[in-house]
Structure 1
Amino acid sequence: MLEEIILLRSSDIFGNKFVLIFINATLYSCISVLTFRLYDLVILVSFMYLFISKKGDLRVPGRIFILLFFTTLITMVHEISSDGLLEVERYIMSMLLVVVMVNLTYKFEELYTPLKYISLAALYNSIMIYFFIYLGKISKVTGSLFASNIYIYNQQKVDSYAKSFDVRMNGFFSDPNKYMVFCFALIIIIELFIINRETKMLRFIIICAAIMSLSRTALIVIAAYIFFKQLYFEKKKSFDMFVLEITIVVGILVILSIIPDAIFNLNNGTYDVAAKLLGRDKTLEMNTSIANDNRIIIWHDAIQYIQQHFLLGNGWLSFEKLLPYPTHNTLLQLILDGGLIFTVGYIIFFYPLFKMKKWYLTLTCYLIPTMLLELADYRMWYFILAIILLGKEKDDKDSIYIGTSYD
């Protein structure tokens, strides 16, 4: 609450205030008040304020109606559980977030310093909560007024596991992977909208925070981000060098595809090194190679159920009755729940993210996490989409978008 008060005083522009309060509330996403996550309360209160102050005259992007239609359709054709209703509420909140965002104005340059403090807080929280969980000083709180579902992945310290139990760093997040994706969302925001400022140190802080999640996906995204960003700027400096680097990469991939055993051994070697580097010995005990990784197994099972109801899916959160745990893949999650119908609507909704000139951000910070985690209702993606929609009319050399408007 103290952080929120400080952030409220950091700018006189309501749009800036909302951005900072929402991002900071996401930083504490394990906390619920009256069953609402803090960031959803920020969305709800801000929407009500805007609706009243503007007397209902709010701008609503057309793509909102597309996603709302398909969400309603899938809800109507399937029997819905209480958890399913909660999933619908998440989609509704996500769409409300877009509506709130496109009805505000911003000065992004003023957000640099507050975002730096939020990034430092993310890094600090992950370290401190790690030690408190390690010492057994953290427990979940359950109540009708206030609750927390902080991620505590801590094997019991019995003798046989005393030296190998896992504790994941995630700060005040309900999932260390969501903490990691939060960091990559911050990178997108900073690279797109904090211009004319030196952001190397800020990006370095955020990358360190992402690594603190102890996620192999974090290492993949960071390596891909550095490589493809270098390619992006290489193309601007020397197109011939860009073509040469692309040719080398394609050549290596072709050679590896001819020798499948080499790919298998390389993947497994990378898998082992990444897990050991991050102190994930327990993960290696359960998943000895990529072939028997939990994700690969669950993807195979999910595809079997998708084939049975390909068009309209199996209903919201269908993994709860079909699979032992979530799909860890947004595309599979979408098709499993809402079938091809809902998935197409979802892709249309997020199409603007694929219109960014800085394509390496879409490829690395958005697509890779999306394909390795279930993030269909992840609020930060809707947050970024809304900011992109704000500038859709702009079409000049300084625009972050390719081509003309698309809404």
Structure 2
Amino acid sequence: MTVAPLTDLPLWPPINLDRDPLVPLDAVERHRFSGPVTRVRLPTDTAAWLVTRHADVRQLLRHPDFSADLTRPGFPLLRRLTPAAFGSRQGGFIRMDGAEHSRLRRMLTAEFMIKNVRRIEPLIRQTVDRALDGLRDAGPPADLVTHFALPVPSMVICHLLGVPYADHDFFQERSRTLIDRDAPPERVQRHAQELRDYLHRLVETKVAAGDRTDDLLSRLARDRVDTGELAVDELVGMAVLLLIAGHETTANMIGLSTLLLLRHPARYAALGEDPGHADGLVDELLRYLSIVRSGLPRLALADVEIGGQLIRAGEGAIGVLSLANRDPGAFDRADEFDPYRQAQQHVAFGFGVHQCIGQPLARAELRIALVELARRFPRLRRADPDGRLPARDASVVFGLEALPVTW
């Protein structure tokens, strides 16, 4: 088989500032990356296999011979960074495999079970109401991202972890650096270390004090660190992961979901008047928007065939969630937004052992936020309907920089 030169391969991920923010790839880009498995060039001048079909992405993400450990030689990094730029990997179980990953993940599984998330729904509602008051007081017009989409998940995850929300500017700035593919390596390394240092001080304070408060970090300090099951540095790594994932992803979903619903005013109105279909709507929003658009990278540890293509040991593969969620082989009229679709089989949260552990919390926050927004702001609309919306196209987690609204 003839292997195309690296320079002839299409670059992944594409940057297109003119693309509709609700569309993962435009028609030209879809054609360029068409095919179940496509060879692509990464920004690091290395090659990888792009996996785009729903069934193939699920196979890739659940297969034990594909590693999520970015410290392995040959791992398909999407930006020019050495793994050392991220600091210690201790506790960051999302980038671990096998028993190492399972040991840490099991310590958090019960925390994010549906029954536990339901118990904190009153807290989520209070947080949403407070943020909506802030949106009301800021306008009209006002930026929905600044005054609503970002504060809601930030306040909730801070409360759950026991992180002072007063420090949100500090950790939000550093979180955004760590998921920005265009951020200079030295800034990534500095901000990663500053965030770890901040959380290390917080964790050590909780451990030393034998803190009896009921936040997650205090419970893990008492139940896991004090018993020797978990090292302080591991708890810090878990805190970094949960803090970043706990607010960036949901904040971007709230902003994009609002934009999409404002393009469907009848559906937006129905959400506020009759929220009974909100759970199904949330799944369709997750499928249709798929904010982790650059995909989930993996490294083959053995030869594995995916979608008819042999991926050899040592080669990288990327499961593109956004294209898998718009695969016509898995969803009828896959490129259409259908609020009544049964879309539960989407892969917006990943798949397999690394599937997002916080998805019950994310679903609850998104559902409550959108229902209450539609209920309290039934006349909500874009302040500048023809204006271009700045998007975070270079971010690992896609979203809007701003969404000016009025009512």
| Structure with greater strand percent | 2
TM-score by length of 1: 0.26
TM-score by length of 2: 0.26
| Structure with greater helix percent | 1
